[in-house]
Amino acid sequence: MPEPLPVPPPASLPVPPAAPLNLDGFRADLAECLFLEPGEVDLEESPLDAGLDSLRIVTLLERWQAAGAEVTFVDLAERTSFAQWWRLLSERTGGAGHADA
């Protein structure tokens, strides 16, 4: 019986490119984690008061990093509103998707 083919390590598998980050996508990402519609997300609200815990923040962070945002968990934790998060992400994604929050 022939030996099974080796499974390539995950790093060698192709990774689909992430969509560029924009304000609509940012709102949609938040809404998904908060179980809201995107239009219901209050950008002036505190992420913690809105109900995000550290695991959900890390999930969002990984998604935004995959889209090209150069931010860390600490960067987000130092900001007290979703609007501040958006300004930071806008600044750190090379100008793609700039929009005022």
Per-residue pLDDT tens over the stretch 22-48 = 999 999 999 999 999 999 999 999 999
- The burial class, CB within 10 Å (0-12 / 13-18 / 19+), for 92 is middle
Architecture of domain 20-91: Orthogonal Bundle (1.10)
Predicted TM-score (pTM) of this structure: 0.76
Question: pLDDT-derived band of residue 20, with 50, 70 and 90 as boundaries?
Answer: confident
Report the alpha-carbon distance of residue 56 to residue 58 in Å, rounded.
5
Q: Per-domain residue ranges for the chain?
A: 20-91
